[in-house]
Amino acid sequence: MNIFCSFVKNRIEMENLRRYPIGIQTFSEIRKSNYLYIDKTEYVYWMVHFTKYVFLSRPRRFGKSLLTSTLHSYFSGQKELFQGLAIEKLEKEWTEYPVLHFDMSTAKHADCEQLLQELNMKLIRYEEVYGKMEGEVNPNQRLEGLIKRAYEQTGKQVVVLIDEYDAPLLDVVHEEERLGVLRNIMRNFFSPLKACDPYLRYVFLTGITKFSQLSIFSELNNITNISMDEPYAAICGITEDEMLTQMKEDMERLAAKLNISPEEVLLKLKENYDGYHFTYPSPDLYNPFSLLMSMAKGKIDSYWFGSGTPTYLIKMLEKFGVEPSEVGGKTAAVEDFDAPTETMSSITPLLYQSGYITIKGYDSELGLYTLDIPNKEVRVGLMRSLLPYYVSTPTEKTNTMVAYLSRDIRNDDMDSALRRLQTFLSTIPYCDNTRYEGHYQQMFYIIFSLLGSFVDIEVRTPRGRVDVLLRTKTTLYVMELKLDKTAGEAMEQINLKNYPERFALCGLPVVKVAINFDSERCTIGDWMIEK
């Protein structure tokens, strides 16, 4: 009887659970199947009524495909799907238009031949509806023919939606020759859009990166880039206000699952998934994928970063010689980060457009933006991806070490932490590029970042720079690193230059840590700790 009752109880609970659209990017399916939908339709209304050619850049898994699908349903005249949403009160006419919807995410990792095959398959689907002229051979000719015939056959202007336009290009962004070939194919495909203007009602393109007008949209010079327009700042992502109003019960369930208060769960969600801004001013934006996954799974974890290995990013960091500590904490003019990817002179545009750094502030007098890593999830995920370049060891072993190290630091036991690091580094089978202090400095930066603590390097003081600064909830550690010298020499420098004086007002006890690395053994040689 008890087993039966338990079964019934669990069944009722399952049926009452909120349905989260994890991996579902089709607006009609979300609405018909009663999945959670954060209402963005007011943005859709204003976007389609006041612009015609629109481009939107946002990081992966930020809702671009769902937005494109929403436009598809809207222009298909599916009024019933929008009942109870903001656009229902705004839209007076629901006109059905012919829609050509191309999802380029299926063309990832494609070479020249594969990309042409993908375009061929996408065009065939619509040619089965609207027909094909014998002389139409190339993708641009076929697209132009489709637009004109759809217009002629329906008597309505055509809507063209192109989602993830840059998907075929991202994996080769670091390879100039391959990038050029694939870029020319895509440019050819888009070329009819301007010439077909009389036949077009609306054109919408999404992507992660911003390739130059000349290189991709050579003919489409009237496209409006809304990526940094303030009215559309929250068109993708979830604002805190949306979360608190439309996901209040979800937060309460998560809090109950984690056995913490709703206020505490908000702080955890904010720390891990909040902090994105794509213009200034802008509301704080939460990563929608990670936020929904945390609600569905009932725990705080790394979801966005774990959903895709940023291979192209790692390769570009290497290409530009960017150290891990240099990823965040940047100041730049808008033309330096909202810039064409293929002509960039630094990695900043790619980092920004891919979502690894975001806008954190703006100086209107100087016209300069402050850019930094958005949140804990991105910082930890990025550092975890970079760690193998500094510590060559199996992932499982590294994760175990980091977990124990985290406990040592939480317990204010720096001596045990360094002893653990010494043992760990001594077990690494080989070491490469380790005969300079900067290597160990960056390694410390990565490892301490993985702990979720604040860490910085080369911190200015009146008498010099602190090699590593680590701040926990209870302690501020001032660290000096030496290579093939002694910990005593490192401590002497800390005391001589009185580094702790700079941080006397921080409100935390300052602990001095002097560390010497042994390049022959590729590990920590000796250390000294003074409070």
**Could you report the per-residue pLDDT of 465-479, keeping only the tens digit for each?**
999 999 999 999 999
Contact (CB, 8 A) for 9 and 54? no
**132 and 190 co-located in one domain:** yes
- Model confidence pLDDT, tens digit, residues 29-77: 999 999 999 999 999 999 999 999 999 999 999 999 999 999 999 999 9
Burial status of residue 337 (CB atoms within 10 A of its CB: 0-12, 13-18, 19 or more)? buried
Q: Give residue 440's pLDDT.
A: 87
Poorest-confidence range of 194-203, 382-391, 503-512? 382-391
Mean pLDDT of 339-358: 87
Task: Report if residue 147 sits inside a domain.
Answer: yes
Q: Please tell me which residue, 512 or 223, carries the higher pLDDT value.
A: 512
* Distance between first and last Cα of the chain: 63
> Nearest CA to 184 among 124, 116, 135, 122?
116
Domain carrying residue 495: 390-530
Helices 64-75 and 41-50: angle between axes, nearest 10 degrees: 70
| Section 364-392 average pLDDT | 89
Q: What does R_g of the chain's alpha carbons equal in angstroms?
A: 27
Show which of 327, 350, 376 is a domain's final residue: 376
The string of DSSP codes covering 459-503 is EEETTEEEEEEEE-SS-EEEEEEEESS-HHHHHHHHHHHTGGGGG
* Residue 161 belongs to domain with CATH number: 3.40.50
- Domain closes at, from 209, 232, 255: 232
pLDDT tens profile 381-433: 888 888 877 776 666 778 888 899 999 999 999 999 999 999 988 877 555 55
The DSSP code for 97 is -
Confidence (pLDDT) at 221: 74
As a whole number, mean pLDDT of residues 142-154 equals 98
Query: Is 473 inside a domain boundary?
Result: yes
- pLDDT higher for 520 or 132? 132
Residue 219 has what pLDDT?
66
Mark residue 29 as left, alpha or beta (left: phi above 0; alpha: psi -120 to 50; beta: remaining): alpha
Q: How many domains does the chain have?
A: 4
Average pLDDT over residues 366-379: 95
Task: Report the C-alpha gap between 47 and 89 in whole angstroms.
Answer: 16
CA angle 317, 322, 328 (to 5 degrees): 100
Mark which of 199, 217, 232 sits at the end of a domain. 232
